[in-house]
Structure 1
Amino acid sequence: MSKKQYFFLILILGSLTALGPFSIDMYLPGFPAIAKDLNTTAARVALSLSSFFVGISAGQLLYGPLLDRFGRKKPLYIGLAVYIATSIGCAAIHTIDGLIALRFLQAVGSCAAGVASMAMVRDLFPVKDSAKVYALLLLVVGLSPMVAPTMGGYVTEAFGWQSVFVTLAVMGAALLLACVLWLPDTYVPDTTLSLKPRPILTNFWQVLREPQFYTYTLTGAMSFCGLFAYVADSPLVFMDIFRVDAKVYGWIFAGLSVGLIGASQVNSVLLRRFQSEELVMGALVCQVATSVVFLFLTYFGWIGLYGTVALLFLFLCCLGFSSPNTAALSLAPFAKKAGSASSLMGAIRMGMGAVASAAVSVFNNHTAVPMVAVMTVTSVLALLILLVGRKNVQAQPAELEAMQLAEPVH
């Protein structure tokens, strides 16, 4: 394909992947306003974030078999339609329970975009290019935490928090139109696949029992839990504890995202010399060290706003290295079942993230300790999973070679 086609394809796939994160990040500055208008607390509003994570986790398991059975585009269209309708519903809702329920359904719709885009990468690009393409997608996704909270802060203050969801509905409609007009068909539907529960579960089990899949999927999911803890608790940490307003919070959130984005792009350069396995190990060791120091300083109250921002930046840099590599290593063994593997990987990641975000809300004590504690515990567990699980990975030499990227994509 030409450079123009390659760029445009990455832009569409990246935008699809970013839809879920954008739906999370854009409404975070509106937590206080939502709590006030719906006569509830910011902690209860945070449950609408947890329900979103649960919806993405459950929805990914739904869309995986559908993408393999009917192709990539039809399930994607249905998911985007659900997303648009529920976004409009969120803007019109008047109760916190209704918002929590609609956010669940909105997530189910949005995750079709994420699962489809991940599967299409496996369809369209050679395995040896997967980690680099995922890093490029992460670059587009990384614009979400840079743009969404800042945009959300200004939109909320100017027009009210409901306008955030109207904006999301418009974005969903634009993506649906782009997919209909310009996204290629990348997969021939496998009509032999059954959508009955037992064959679907058997298919998932066949994917899950692959050592390379479960080792790097669980490692990536556990390490990513720290990001969910940060996203769920950052409105309280910055706006309640450090007393910054919604606009400043948006800029802080955007600035921190530079660590995640920048590291993911440096990762593409390092892949010319190092294997994905090596980069994952190095990133997790650094992530554990950073989170342990962060927890120690936070627990004893020896760190303020600037120190918190600095350590969060380092933590997100570590995730920028580990995330694209664990994704590529998880999906590398699959071609025919890429849709199911992608959905299962996403479901595990989002499900564990939902637990992490809920834990932060449950143990909320009006300090940053619960957030940092979750970040530390999950980082340590991710490293332990990798150390134990990689002994069971028996990749073929060709697969190991495929994880190395000798030349950049032009």
Structure 2
Amino acid sequence: MSETSANAVPPAAPPPRSLNSLILVLGACGFASTFTMRLLDPLVPTLAAEFGRSIAQVAAIATAFSFAYAVGQPFLGPIADSLGKLKTIATCLGVLALLSLAAAFASSFEVLTGVRMIAGVAAGGVIPVAMAAIGDRAPMAERQIMLGRFLVLMIIGQMAGAACSGLIAEHIGWRSVFVMAGAIAAIAGVLVLVVLKPRPNALRAPLSFSGALANYAAVFANPRSKLLYGLVVVEGSLIFGMPPYIAAILHERAGVGPSQAGLVIAGTGLGGIVYGVLTRVLVERLGPARMTLAGGILMGAAFALFALPFLPWWSAIAIFTLNGFGFFLMHGTFQAQATELAPTARGSAVALFACALFCGHALGPVLMGAALHLFGTGGAILVFAAGITLLGVAVPRILPLAGSRT
């Protein structure tokens, strides 16, 4: 186990000031990771023109990033459990900073794609490991609330990555976007090293192949694990298939540029901030089952509205704010459930959760591209709207949710 791994007996609650520092610093790490993750979406048309590629080819960079993020998780989870979650986060942020600078100097489409793929592995060692660290310190009754606060800062990074990248690209150039991302990642890594300290009473098992297998055996000993991970793959496919195509759809409909598209994509983050602020009220009033149901319905409604071509482009900001709120109602619940699958191997459990999400993240743009080809823009969006609504309806019926209201 790492410095933050849970023991069979829950540790004493940390002082409030210590927990607040943890949330703030890990939130800054999440900010850096999501800033890097989402900054490419508004730039898809720009990079297509820069490198002489199609929209679908450039959108596939998001698939490469997400696929690498997912593939790295089975390795990063055991590393975090054995070597330390804080050390893992700081190291991955340092690597992410260097790779962002490398992307800024990419001389070809192939180089940019390769760098972004490796960056996906590094980014995968930040947010899932941070979630596991929070899970180690917060009891289950408070965990979704603590994760909600962490998500607020993480989502601001998502918004900034989407909104700022378009603005910077239009006025300074797209390469400057990656320079900024590298600087942010480096600063967050330094904060982890300076502010956060390992728990003195934590137990660690040496990193080994057999130890990693034992951790994953503990995860899958819980019968809920396979079902939860499968649902998260579906969720990721339906939600993250859309963002790489938003800029192209808006450009086709209204001729808007990267900066306006970035504002629309940032709307998802704004909805997440609303969720983060209201997490305690939502958990106490609705409970996990009703939150997943409401989330699926809201996301389906938002996608259905976006399918209407006659709405002004700026209405999409409100539409994706609604979509973001619905997404975090569902996904925030999934996250909290994942932290409780295997308390003695929490880093591994959350790593597999992230692996499942980003498998869906990688699959989503491919499925959306196929749907656009088969059904056209409006039809493809409606197919995804129906899918996410059905997921929200199905989850409370097929997945036992810890803390559900009866």
Question: TM-score of the superposition, structure 2-length normalised?
Answer: 0.86
Counterparts of 2:295 and 2:391 in 1: how far apart (Å)? 14
Residue 212 of structure 2 aligns with an amino acid whose one-letter code is: I
In the alignment, which residue of structure 2 is the partner of 1:145?
158
Counterparts of 2:244 and 2:221 in 1: how far apart (Å)? 32
- Alpha-carbon distance, 1:156 to partner: 1.1
Counterparts of 2:336 and 2:240 in 1: how far apart (Å)? 21
Counterparts of 1:190 and 1:216 in 2: how far apart (Å)? 27
In the alignment, which residue of structure 1 is the partner of 2:270?
258
Counterparts of 1:247 and 1:306 in 2: how far apart (Å)? 12
Please tell me whether the aligned partners of residues 82 and 207 of structure 2 are also in contact (alpha carbons under 8 angstroms).
Answer: yes
1:236 matched to 2:248: yes
- Alpha-carbon distance, 1:165 to partner: 1.0
- Alpha-carbon distance, 1:302 to partner: 6.3
Counterparts of 1:49 and 1:231 in 2: how far apart (Å)? 9
Instruction: Map Cα deviations across residues 281-328 of structure 1 (whole Å, 9 max, x no partner).
Output: 33334444x268448x64xx5655466555443332211211211211
Please tell me whether the aligned partners of residues 241 and 367 of structure 1 are also in contact (alpha carbons under 8 angstroms).
Answer: no
1:155 matched to 2:165: no
Match of 1:374 among 381, 384, 400: 384
Please tell me whether the aligned partners of residues 284 and 379 of structure 1 are also in contact (alpha carbons under 8 angstroms).
Answer: yes
Q: How many residues align?
A: 389
1:7 matched to 2:26: no
Please tell me whether the aligned partners of residues 215 and 386 of structure 1 are also in contact (alpha carbons under 8 angstroms).
Answer: no
Go from structure 1 to structure 2 and tell me whether the alpha carbon gap of 1:37 and 1:333 turns closer, same or farther (over 3 Å shift). closer
In the alignment, which residue of structure 1 is the partner of 2:364?
356
Q: Which deviates further from its counterpart, 32-41 or 182-191?
A: 182-191
- Alpha-carbon distance, 1:231 to partner: 1.6
Counterparts of 1:203 and 1:8 in 2: how far apart (Å)? 29
Q: Which deviates further from its counterpart, 113-122 or 179-188?
A: 179-188
Question: What stretches of structure 2 of length at least 5 have no aligned partner?
Answer: 1-13
In the alignment, which residue of structure 2 is the partner of 1:24?
37
Residue 362 of structure 2 aligns with an amino acid whose one-letter code is: A
Please tell me whether the aligned partners of residues 65 and 339 of structure 1 are also in contact (alpha carbons under 8 angstroms).
Answer: yes
Please tell me whether the aligned partners of residues 220 and 382 of structure 1 are also in contact (alpha carbons under 8 angstroms).
Answer: no
Residue 69 of structure 1 aligns with an amino acid whose one-letter code is: S
Counterparts of 1:7 and 1:134 in 2: how far apart (Å)? 12
- Alpha-carbon distance, 1:78 to partner: 3.0
Counterparts of 2:382 and 2:107 in 1: how far apart (Å)? 33
In the alignment, which residue of structure 1 is the partner of 2:8?
none
Match of 2:215 among 203, 220, 224: 203
- Alpha-carbon distance, 1:367 to partner: 2.5
Residue 365 of structure 2 aligns with an amino acid whose one-letter code is: S
Residue 139 of structure 1 aligns with an amino acid whose one-letter code is: V
In the alignment, which residue of structure 1 is the partner of 2:7?
none
Instruction: Map Cα deviations across residues 252-301 of structure 1 (whole Å, 9 max, x no partner).
Output: 3334432232134323212233432332233334444x268448x64xx5
Go from structure 1 to structure 2 and tell me whether the alpha carbon gap of 1:140 and 1:93 turns closer, same or farther (over 3 Å shift). same
In the alignment, which residue of structure 2 is the partner of 1:40?
53
| Matched ranges for 1:294-333 at <5 A | 294=305, 298=308, 305=313, 308-333=316-341
Please tell me whether the aligned partners of residues 208 and 214 of structure 1 are also in contact (alpha carbons under 8 angstroms).
Answer: yes
Match of 1:49 among 42, 51, 62: 62
Q: Which deviates further from its counterpart, 174-183 or 207-216?
A: 207-216
| Matched ranges for 1:263-302 at <5 A | 263-288=275-300, 290=301, 293-294=304-305, 298=308
Instruction: Map Cα deviations across residues 131-181 of structure 1 (whole Å, 9 max, x no partner).
Output: 001111111122123322221122112221111111111111111111111
Residue 283 of structure 2 aligns with an amino acid whose one-letter code is: L
Please tell me whether the aligned partners of residues 38 and 96 of structure 1 are also in contact (alpha carbons under 8 angstroms).
Answer: yes
Counterparts of 2:89 and 2:314 in 1: how far apart (Å)? 42
Go from structure 1 to structure 2 and tell me whether the alpha carbon gap of 1:93 and 1:302 turns closer, same or farther (over 3 Å shift). closer
- Alpha-carbon distance, 1:23 to partner: 1.1
Q: Which deviates further from its counterpart, 255-264 or 170-179?
A: 255-264
Please tell me whether the aligned partners of residues 87 and 169 of structure 1 are also in contact (alpha carbons under 8 angstroms).
Answer: yes
SS of the aligned residue for 1:40 comes to coil
Instruction: Map Cα deviations across residues 86-136 of structure 1 (whole Å, 9 max, x no partner).
Output: 212111112212211111100111111112201111112112111001111
SS of the aligned residue for 2:209 comes to coil
Go from structure 1 to structure 2 and tell me whether the alpha carbon gap of 1:350 and 1:147 turns closer, same or farther (over 3 Å shift). same
- Alpha-carbon distance, 1:234 to partner: 1.2
Question: TM-score of the superposition, structure 1-length normalised?
Answer: 0.85
Go from structure 1 to structure 2 and tell me whether the alpha carbon gap of 1:221 and 1:20 turns closer, same or farther (over 3 Å shift). farther
Counterparts of 2:371 and 2:282 in 1: how far apart (Å)? 39
Counterparts of 1:292 and 1:181 in 2: how far apart (Å)? 43
Counterparts of 1:138 and 1:78 in 2: how far apart (Å)? 21
Match of 2:350 among 342, 350, 368: 342
Go from structure 1 to structure 2 and tell me whether the alpha carbon gap of 1:285 and 1:248 turns closer, same or farther (over 3 Å shift). closer
Please tell me whether the aligned partners of residues 132 and 346 of structure 2 are also in contact (alpha carbons under 8 angstroms).
Answer: yes
C-alpha RMSD of matched pairs (Å): 2.7
Counterparts of 1:158 and 1:285 in 2: how far apart (Å)? 38
Go from structure 1 to structure 2 and tell me whether the alpha carbon gap of 1:307 and 1:175 turns closer, same or farther (over 3 Å shift). closer
Please tell me whether the aligned partners of residues 219 and 382 of structure 1 are also in contact (alpha carbons under 8 angstroms).
Answer: no
Q: Which deviates further from its counterpart, 227-236 or 19-28?
A: 19-28
Please tell me whether the aligned partners of residues 280 and 325 of structure 1 are also in contact (alpha carbons under 8 angstroms).
Answer: yes
- Alpha-carbon distance, 1:194 to partner: 2.6
Match of 1:387 among 394, 397, 403: 397
Counterparts of 1:285 and 1:191 in 2: how far apart (Å)? 43
Q: Which deviates further from its counterpart, 305-314 or 104-113?
A: 305-314
Counterparts of 2:80 and 2:268 in 1: how far apart (Å)? 34
